[in-house]
Structure 1
């Protein structure tokens, strides 16, 4: 069942925010209001949502090579590599005449993210990451999402060429099964309790992922667990000699921080995730955690054979960038053989000694463990981390030898350069000179072309089938994501594409003061889509814009 929602005015939203900041401050900053369902989000208080009478706010520190503030966990952290990596197995689909149906429930659960510690998460099927979806070109996928959480959700398939109605637009909300007592600040396609997302998936094989995209609350809701992986396959990929079965390993990397009781810490303005979105002032640049999770486990270990492995990497962090390294291989060649990126297979392999991942980016790599012996170890590290964030996971060799007939070919796939653009556009990503207010009442700190996000307007109208050239400029680190259509990087500044720009992209990692040009051809799916910064706190604080495909 769906219904439309009349948006309250911006002034009305601000009035609600002011009222909440006055009458409801104790509930937000100190503890949970009596009878409130609670989310477990720790906002102004280090124990908000647990009845604490503490009033000290969460504090963060700067971390080298990052944009944002680091939250330091209040619980004793485990030694790294003491837990096995959770292996993501394909979820079971129901085959229907319309496509493969996956039924997923967004719900609360208790998970063991740290060894021996129970943590409440809010996640797809109560798992972090959510169920692994594996699809094949030519077979549509229907994801039926039921919302048993105490707040609205909306789900975006990141990297999917998806009709607008199923793209997870930020105001197209799925309300909780038990109802939603709060006013809705925006017009949108509203579903009560659940809805179907239909994905045609007529696109190349690629590493995709799905996550919550609720306007102003994406950062908090992804931090709490609403993200999962999706591997899409086709015949072009099938024809290649690549690692398969247990030697193909999906890895979702994300950072988090934990309070003394094991709960997740996050500086949400509204710890009930109800009315006012965004984060408290010091965290506008982004939220960083001091614990690195891989597939929902802190600094895990994976036993491997002395063979080649295919690693499907997703940076699902809110704000953290990684520069991944491999220490302990038996050869001196670059450790990462990149075969794919956001939009699928590259034309040819690219070899890297270190691999940079910005939030939202995916890399498909082959790592060669041959030549190692039983008991040898290879550490996946992070050169952009310090202390606990400098390690990601470890691979431990479990045998002296193994069969391996994989030969990564010199030619992987067909990546045809896009033609000349019919028009050019420029988008500047930067901090607001003076923060205004979003429609939900929080400070709109970040801007695209000097404007904060308005879901009712579009900054561009593009024609289906046209090729356009878009220029992005930045004031800080901003990974820029474009919905619907992948793009090709043409240039960074006065130079050509960078070392991590090969193939089709949908997210480009841009550093401070950087300028890049990309070419994009828009698929023939009319409707409203988005581009935005994929630092989730920037996105929540108004660094988004719409474009209409006509």
Structure 2
């Protein structure tokens, strides 16, 4: 294991909080005519991820990692030419290896730097610079959304138009190239995109130097022949052998790296005033779910200073205190955004740290079982200014926000099942199954691809699988302007952060289920999956706003409702663990005018059209 905090001369040693936080440049488009494109070029660049490391080759938007923070006003329509300026023959910046297999219960090797003697994957090394940019969260037409197959190579541009007709929100942009998103994003292709509006302005939130993005991502690094970190990005994954007596098959795990970076720097520090600050946090990791706690110099949680004021799609109805009761963390999955306020007024002269504690360990203590070798994320150094901060936290943030009432919204339904990686036919990977209810009493049960669900009133419904891979026939076609409730049922580990393009959603419910009736060897249920009366779940306060990423834990049914409005075309939904997305946990859907949908020759697929 690489040592932390030792003298720099030791192989692999890095000192926490040694380097200042990098603040990405800000791009505020000021073109008066939408026909004037803004070019944002993808370029190779060299980055110092830590002062004790040699430079790291990465890819960046405008040569910056992360890319520029794009800052626009609501209704300010812009066109962007995402231009590929990465020359042909450029070295691919990521070394990829898969190590193992590792028996269940043994430490996983992906927490260590270096290739473990495994030869790099030559197919990854040979990848060209082939990229397409998705503005995550945006309401824009399918042709502008960054369809995964529509990637471009050197000298070509992906042209995209963004209406930005949306309430204030934090979106982010990143690569979405088919099959290789996990490596392109890992190479550095991420950035923040902020939409402003008058309602947010009226709150007088911290701004200017007291507002900044925090783009969180984990990394691993290769080593030289002497075991020293050489700065080279290492995408190192593991194969796990399940301990289950019947399903003890190899499972390819997503990437988890030992080093946390914020805005591209490993374990940075930030000098702040004794005042309120606003941090626009996004988890841009491939698969790391962060469990964050703010601690003092003695690793004790610091209560009462953090408020969450927004989530993926904009402001929450009211501030949510984040007090870390009992050391409980603030959990953020890949692609989720948290709009945070931190009140440093009572912390002048002190240093407080954001750490990733893991789900089971005390604050500040590494939890190897939860794949957290080092808890460090970043440090805040609070300066005493003796100047009063006039900001007052408002009790209500968004007067325009309204929660959906399920009984009052006319909506369609979809059921999506997330399968365990050991399921027959899945090749060792979890899958997305789109399901259609079967009314025919003659359907054979049990059978592969057939799922039975028992509701709380005892009713048993039978569903059959209609798709399981990205290239299966189109399943969901939706009338523009329609409301839909999508239900995600996770039949096994791990937790999946599910992302639906185009629309904003609200989490309607989280329900606990007993899923032992599902047999992975059969690929269907032998007895109905049923609600678990021993567990009660609720929707936490920080999930009761607008969301486009939803954590779906094992043995959980998550229902989300949203309106597919403002754009037409073909879009995607997928797991935002990028290794899962690339390996098949992604499906298309189409939004078209309701008038045109009346002539749809594929009516009936996947549920109601709305």
TM-score interval w.r.t. the shorter chain? 0.7 to 0.9
User: CA offset at residue 445 of structure 1?
Assistant: 5.2
- Compared CA separation, residues 143 and 268, structure 1 to 2 (3 A): farther
Aligned counterpart in structure 2 of residue 548 of structure 1, from 582, 590, 593? 590
- Compared CA separation, residues 266 and 332, structure 1 to 2 (3 A): closer
Tell whether 2:150 aligns with 1:172. Answer: yes
Secondary structure in 2 aligned to 1:320? coil
Alignment check: 8 A CA contact 2:237 2:253 kept: no
User: CA offset at residue 372 of structure 1?
Assistant: 2.2
Structure 1 unaligned segments of length 5 or more: list them.
1-59, 61-73, 178-192, 270-280, 438-442
Q: Which residue pairs with 1:308 in the alignment?
A: 276
Q: Which residue pairs with 2:139 in the alignment?
A: 161
Aligned counterpart in structure 2 of residue 109 of structure 1, from 39, 45, 58? 45
Alignment check: 8 A CA contact 1:98 1:140 kept: yes
Q: Specify the structure having the higher radius of gyration (Cα).
A: 2
User: CA offset at residue 388 of structure 1?
Assistant: 4.7
Aligned counterpart in structure 2 of residue 426 of structure 1, from 411, 415, 421? 415
Aligned counterpart in structure 2 of residue 487 of structure 1, from 489, 494, 505? 505
Q: Which residue pairs with 1:394 in the alignment?
A: 379
Secondary structure in 2 aligned to 1:264? strand
Residues 333-412 of structure 1 aligned to structure 2 (within 5 Å): 333-353=303-323, 354-374=329-349, 376-384=350-358, 386=367, 388-412=373-397
- What is the CA deviation profile of residues 432-466 of structure 1, one whole-angstrom value per residue up to 9, with x for unaligned ones? 524568xxxxx865333464433473221111111
- Compared CA separation, residues 402 and 212, structure 1 to 2 (3 A): same
Q: Which residue pairs with 1:461 in the alignment?
A: 477
Tell whether 2:34 aligns with 1:98. Answer: yes
Q: Which residue pairs with 1:47 in the alignment?
A: none
Tell whether 2:239 aligns with 1:239. Answer: no
Alignment check: 8 A CA contact 1:321 1:359 kept: yes
User: CA offset at residue 371 of structure 1?
Assistant: 1.6
Residues 216-365 of structure 1 aligned to structure 2 (within 5 Å): 216-260=179-223, 261-267=230-236, 284-328=252-296, 333-353=303-323, 354-365=329-340
- What is the CA deviation profile of residues 133-182 of structure 1, one whole-angstrom value per residue up to 9, with x for unaligned ones? 111101112221111333211110011111100000111111223xxxxx
- Compared CA separation, residues 513 and 417, structure 1 to 2 (3 A): same
Alignment check: 8 A CA contact 2:79 2:159 kept: yes
Tell whether 2:403 aligns with 1:417. Answer: yes
Alignment check: 8 A CA contact 1:75 1:262 kept: no
Give the alignment's TM-score, normalised by structure 2. Answer: 0.69
Secondary structure in 1 aligned to 2:209? helix
User: CA offset at residue 265 of structure 1?
Assistant: 0.5
Whole-Å separation in 2 of the counterparts to 1:246 and 1:282: 49
Whole-Å separation in 2 of the counterparts to 1:282 and 1:350: 42
Secondary structure in 2 aligned to 1:98? coil
Task: Determine which structure has greater relative contact order: mean sequence separation of CA pairs < 8 Å that are 6+ residues apart, divided by chain length.
Answer: 1
Alignment check: 8 A CA contact 2:293 2:356 kept: yes
Q: Which residue pairs with 2:18 in the alignment?
A: 82
Secondary structure in 2 aligned to 1:265? strand
Alignment check: 8 A CA contact 2:292 2:330 kept: yes
Alignment check: 8 A CA contact 1:136 1:232 kept: yes
Tell whether 2:138 aligns with 1:138. Answer: no
CA RMSD of aligned residues (A): 2.6
Whole-Å separation in 2 of the counterparts to 1:335 and 1:446: 40
Tell whether 2:573 aligns with 1:531. Answer: yes
User: CA offset at residue 343 of structure 1?
Assistant: 0.6
State the aligned residue count.
Answer: 447
User: CA offset at residue 391 of structure 1?
Assistant: 1.4
Secondary structure in 2 aligned to 1:365? strand
Whole-Å separation in 2 of the counterparts to 1:379 and 1:357: 17
User: CA offset at residue 331 of structure 1?
Assistant: 10
- Compared CA separation, residues 489 and 445, structure 1 to 2 (3 A): closer
- Compared CA separation, residues 406 and 359, structure 1 to 2 (3 A): same
Alignment check: 8 A CA contact 1:492 1:516 kept: yes
Secondary structure in 2 aligned to 1:221? helix
- Compared CA separation, residues 456 and 234, structure 1 to 2 (3 A): farther
Alignment check: 8 A CA contact 1:340 1:364 kept: yes
Structure 2 unaligned segments of length 5 or more: list them.
2-9, 87-127, 224-229, 239-248, 324-328, 359-365, 435-464, 512-535, 593-610
- Compared CA separation, residues 75 and 112, structure 1 to 2 (3 A): farther
Secondary structure in 2 aligned to 1:364? strand
Alignment check: 8 A CA contact 1:92 1:102 kept: no
Alignment check: 8 A CA contact 1:373 1:397 kept: yes
